[in-house]
Structure 1
Amino acid sequence: MTIGIDARQPLWFYDFVSPFTYLLLEQHDKWPGFDFAFTPVVLNELYRHSGQVPAYSLPTKRVFMYRHALFRAEQLGIPYKMPPAHPFDSTKPLLLATAAKGDVQFVREIFRFIWREGRDPSSDEAFAELCERVGMPDGPELIKSAEVQAQLQRNTADAVGLGVYGVPTFRLNNQLFWGEDALPMVLYCARTPNWLESREVKRVSSLPSGLPGKQA
């Protein structure tokens, strides 16, 4: 039986395919002091539901994204090495984290395997090594479980229902904060939640579209 997302608690949505999600997790010591529920989701499914074109499908945007991630890593002093190909199939590590109900240490170890060591978690050999590293040598069998696979699908569907459209995304006080560069905003809103109720924030949050046939 799958378990639905408890939207009453602070949430953090992630997919291992995202370099910016790795960079944000490496700044965990700066996060607001809440117990975020780490929630794996399938990024491509979020894109599909929201009608977005993945950045890596546009050649010039793909190059910029990879350069920007490297720049941010160097700027932040975070060890960083891209895996041999991107995008890669992140299904196996997502299912592993789902099966383990992975906490920050567990999830961070997987991210570091991919984005600090530059490994491809989709290959059988590398995934088996990853499972050993996180203390789940039976991982290759665990991820075949229909219940585990259904739970990841449920996570993703519930995230879509909450309006999540990308990763990394914080959900705090019923608000979404997307992207590695949103951390200062998350921190500010955690300290000053009334800012979201200010007149100008409300105004810009409900602006109509100025283009015919376009919904805001």
Structure 2
Amino acid sequence: MKAGKVATQPLWFYDFVSPFTYLLLEQHEKWPDFDFTFTPVVLNDLYRHWGQSPAYSVPAKRTFLYRHALFRAEQLGIPFKMPPVHPFESMKLLLLATAVQGDVQFVREIFRFIWREGRDPSSDAVFAELCERVGQPNGPELIKDEAVHQQLRRNTEDAIQLGVYGVPTFYLNKQLFWGEDALPMVLYCARTPNWLDSKEVKRISCLPSGLADIQP
């Protein structure tokens, strides 16, 4: 992926640790008709860069996050089963998807393994099982390649340059759309891109902060 500040192609940023990213991918048939490049990034590195605390680090927020994910899944009619632990280590999965430049079918199969079957992919044995499932039995060897590690780091750095701060995030027409619930906005802006150029959208997009310790 060549992203950074000059990216022009549609991108979709994801990390397998996010249940809402799974829910958005399960709605792929509703997405705008663009050829999105599926781009794995390390969510915790995004958090660290922007000085954010992960949602699951706040006990009450963690509880709500899991309940909300289940509620959305039931509301949307999407099969959903939380893995036995969360958060889990997703690095091996991200490296695997990076190594094979995973397309929608490949990435969706990994998400379903975790969020539909409720599996914890962090152990070596379960990861090996997953690699067999997605047709990459040599996955444990693939992810050792330093070039793959470097590419994942570049993906994450490029995402940060674009302003990406969480997943799932669409990058379309040089604009960011974050979250599973942003899909209606993505669809609207794909059909009506000039909405983002409207006077009120421009006004609220550059509002000054009223607090000295918050940078716009």
Q: TM-score, normalised by structure 2?
A: 0.97
CA shift digits 1:129-165 (9 cap, x unpaired)? 1000110000001001101111101100110111000
**1:85 alignment partner in structure 2:** 85
**Counterpart-to-counterpart distance in 2, 1:131 and 1:213:** 47
Aligned counterparts of 2:194 and 2:99: Cα–Cα separation in 1: 38
Partner of 2:33: 33
* Distance in 2, Cα, partners of 1:182 & 1:76: 14
Structure-2 residue corresponding to 1:128: 128
Equivalent residue number for residue 112 of structure 1: 112
Q: RMSD of the TM alignment (CA)? A: 0.9
Task: Report the number of matched residues.
Answer: 214
Q: CA deviation at 1:8?
A: 1.2
Residue 86 of structure 1 and its aligned partner are, at CA, apart by 0.2
Matched residue type, 1:179: G
Aligned residue in 2 for 1:43: 43
Equivalents in 2 of 1:98, 1:212: separation in Å?
41
Q: Distance in 2 between matches of 1:107 and 1:215?
A: 36
Structure 1 match to 2:68: 68
**Counterpart-to-counterpart distance in 1, 2:43 and 2:20:** 13
> Quick check: 1:100 aligned with 2:100?
yes
Deviation at 1:5, TM superposition (A): 2.9
Structure 1: gaps of 5 or more residues? none
Alignment of 1:1-216 (within 5 A): 4-5=2-3, 7-216=7-216
1:80-133 deviations in whole A, cap 9, x for unaligned? 001010000000110000001000000000000000000111111110010001
Distance 1:189 1:169 in 2: 14
Moved more, 129-138 or 3-12: 3-12
In the TM superposition, what whole-angstrom CA distance separates every residue of 1:54-102 from its partner, at most 9, and x where no partner exists?
A: 0000000000000000000000000000101000000011000000100
